[in-house]
Amino acid sequence: MFAHKKHFTNAIIGALVALSIIALVLSLVDIEDVTLPPTVKYGMVFDAGSSHTSLFVYEWDSDKENNTGVVSQTLSCEVQGQGISSYANDPPKAGDSLRECLDKALKVVPAAKQRDVPAYLGATAGMRLLREQNSSVADQVLAEVAKTMREYPVAFKGAQILTGEEEGAYGWITINYLLDSFTKYSPKAHTWVRPEAANILGALDLGGASTQISFMPRSSVINWNDTSKLTLYGYNYNIYTHSYLCYGQNEMLKRLAKELIVESFSSTRIDHPCYPKDYNETVSLSSFRTSPCTNQSDPRLTHDDRNVTLEGRGNASGCLAAIKKLFNFSACSQSQDCTFDGVYQPPVSGQFIAFSAFYYNFKFLNLTEGQSLATVRETIKHFCTRSWEDLSSSYPEENRERLPKYCANANYILTLLLDAYKFNETSWNNIFFQMKAGRADIGWTLGYMLNLTNMIPAEAPVRMKGHVPSLWAAAVTFIVLTLALGLAALLLLLWV
């Protein structure tokens, strides 16, 4: 009996030792840190453009902040009415115009997080023009915008006017961030790495009052005033970026109309080669004095308030020729490192994303699927010859103010890309017209927020490892030790 009890006791002691060893091994397993699910953070940015304002709400996991910041777009809201610069004569309305979108934003952001949401407003070329024209009024408009945003339970960070170069650089950041050019997640390494063959894309932005080009040139840049030096994820980027004020499509159309009128000043009926045949538009000569882009008019327009009628002629070649006159190409003296008006630019290189009005105009013409330059030219030429009656019946749902202007806009895009920026038959195939990457809109706002919230670090991300047991390992260890204690208690009872 005693021998049997002794063998039984030894067996139990052996089992205890084995279970203890198992528990010890499990507690030392090298497993990645396990933390509670990260909380979601939010940010919002108003894009206050020359023709309209949009609000974008973004979200990201808090554990990515100051590491890689995987940001997704939660909301896009179009503010009703024109851009905030249009409220120069009634600044309080600029602030009031934002309320509807702010109310929508608060519906997608949990109430408990709202007061921590960084909120920004960035104004672009429309406000740059207003500041040139009347800086005190521009300040009043921004003050009213800020006043409205402070009424909402968000962390308002300010309303400011971006420089053209900032707008270009932020758009460049947005594109390369969304398309994983800077860094991408590696499931194998459990961290973020720079793609082996990083394809850094250029950015082409066309707004209502300005246009921007931003890219990494192959050679060194001579004019450092047009260079932005950025350090992102531990890598240095020197990008060329330049903004052309008064070369946005709306200001271009005003300048085109003014030049056509000046050429035939004595007449009250002016031929417009870009407008469809049988389409007429009446404009007041006083309207050209409202913008710095057109108020440098012929002296005869200074005090002339007559109305004149622009009569469409549907002349494709005449339209292209009239638009080319808006550029001073002779200032470059055939230099390949010059665009127009004597502006320096290194030769374009790499692939480009063309967004905003570049995309919207070509999307309307069904030219965003990688068509050849020859096809693009032929499509635009044919469209420009169609009559107003034909266009009106073919596109009954299209905005009646935009429809007659697609011919001029498309020819302007061709002139800007080919004659000014110097893309050619070959490099044309490196331009991709798109407005979204995944579910996010392409534009400067995401890059702006990423920069101001430090979501893109200058340093490369560091992968952290540890010897902390996982929840599963801890649970198993707990069960094993519980069994060990139970067996010890049983042994004690048998011994007694």
Q: Are 242 and 212 in contact (CB under 8 A)?
A: yes
Q: Residue 338: helix, strand or coil by DSSP?
A: strand
Angle, nearest 10°, between helix axes 406-414 and 249-263? 100
Catalytic residue chosen out of the listed positions 78, 167, 281, 397? 167
Q: Are 239 and 176 in contact (CB under 8 A)?
A: no
Q: Residue 344: helix, strand or coil by DSSP?
A: strand
Residue 226 has a CB neighbour count (10 Å cut-off) of 20
Catalytic residue status for 167 = yes
Q: Are 142 and 159 in contact (CB under 8 A)?
A: yes
The CA angle 279-359-50, to the nearest 5 degrees, is 75
Give the amino acid at 182: F
Distance between CA atoms of 385 and 319, rounded to whole angstroms? 10
Its sign, for the CA torsion 206, 210, 216, 217, is positive
CB-count burial class (<10 Å; 0-12, 13-18, 19+) for 113: middle
The catalytic residues are 167
